[in-house]
Amino acid sequence: MKTLFSQGTSHSTRLFIVVLVSCALMFVDHHQQHLKGVRAALAAFVTPIVYLADIPGEFFAWGGENLVSRSQLRQENARLKDEAVVLKSQLQTLVGLQAENARLRNLLGTESKSVQRKMVAEIIRIDSDPFSMRFLLNKGSMHDVYVGQTVIDAYGIVGQVVEVAAMTSRVLMITDVSHAIPVKVNRNGVRSTLVGTGQINRVELQFVPDTTDIKVGDLLMSSGLGQRFPDGYPVAQVTSVQNSPGAAFAKIVAAPLAKLDQSSLVLLIWSDSQGTEQSELSQ
C-alpha cells in the first residue's frame, strides 16, 4: 500500500530541472565554447545514423532512375552533347581571357589567386530550423574541409562551412540572416556587402548610397575582400532598386544565382592562398 500511494518528483518539477540545466549548458557553451569537443564527438557518433536514415531515399531514387525510358536517356544524352559543344567553345574564349589577365597582372605586379582544388560533396540533410538556413555535407575534416571554406554550385556561391566533424560538415547559406559576403557589381566594379534575409530567394545590398550606379539586372560577383571568398564568383543578380526621397541609402534586393532549394551536389573549393594556410597550420 505504501508503494501504491507514494509519489515521486512531479513531472513539472522534472521538466523545470531539465530546462534549467539545458539553459545553463547553452549559456556556458555560447560564451566559453566548452562543449565544442562534445559537439564534434556527437556529430561523429550521429553520422552513421544520418547515412542509415538516408538509405530509403537513396533506394527509391535508384529505382526511379532505372525506370527512366530509353528515349528519355537518348534525349538527355543529345542535350548534354550540345551543351558540351557550347562549353568547349566558351572554354576557348576563357583560355584567351586568362592569358590576357595574366599579362595585365604581370604589368600591375600582382599575383593571380586561382582556385587550386575542388571537391564534389553531397547534401545529406537540410536543417529543419526555419530561422537557420544550413545543410549538412558528406565531407568533413578527413577530407581537409575547414571552417570558412567556400561552397559553390554550378551557378554561383552557395555559402560557407561553419562547422566541421570527421565525416561531415555544416554549411551556412548566403541567404541566412547572419551571413554577409563582400561583392562588386560586374558592370562597373562598385563594391558593397550582400546580406541574407532569411528567405531562400532574396538577399539585399547593405548601406548603398542613394546615388550609387546600380541597376536592375546587374550581376553581383564576389570581390575577394576579407579573403574569405575567392574573387570573381557569381553571387546574385539585382532584381529591385528603390530610391526613397530623403533616404540616405537605397533599398536594393537581389536573387541568389545558386540553386539553393534545388541543388543536391555542391563543390568545396580551395584557393592557392587557402591551401598554403592549411598546410602551414598542419605543420
Note whether 276 and 117 are within 8 A (CB). Answer: no
Per-residue model confidence as pLDDT tens digits over 206-229: 999 988 999 999 999 998 888 889
Structural domains of the chain ordered from first start: 13-66 (no CATH), 180-256 (2.40.10.350)
Return the half-sphere exposure (C-beta side, CA atoms, 13 A cut-off) of residue 3.
Answer: 0
> How large is the average pLDDT for residues 249-264?
92
For the cut 90, the answer to whether the pLDDT of residue 149 exceeds it is yes
Mean pLDDT of the chain: 81
Better-scored residue on pLDDT, 114 or 99: 99
Q: In this structure, which amino acid lies at residue 243? A: N
Q: How far apart are CA 45 and CA 185, in angstroms?
A: 44
- The helix/strand count (H/E) of the chain reads as 5, 12
State in Å, rounded, how far the first CA of the chain is from the last one.
Answer: 70
Q: How confident is the model at residue 88 (pLDDT cuts 50, 70, 90)?
A: confident
Q: In this structure, which amino acid lies at residue 192? A: S
Per-residue model confidence as pLDDT tens digits over 23-68: 877 777 666 666 666 667 767 776 777 777 777 767 666 666 666 6
Amino acid 117: pLDDT: 83
For the cut 50, the answer to whether the pLDDT of residue 136 exceeds it is yes
For the cut 50, the answer to whether the pLDDT of residue 128 exceeds it is yes
pTM (two decimals): 0.64
**What percent of the chain lies above the pLDDT cut of 70?**
75
Note whether 179 and 173 are within 8 A (CB). Answer: yes
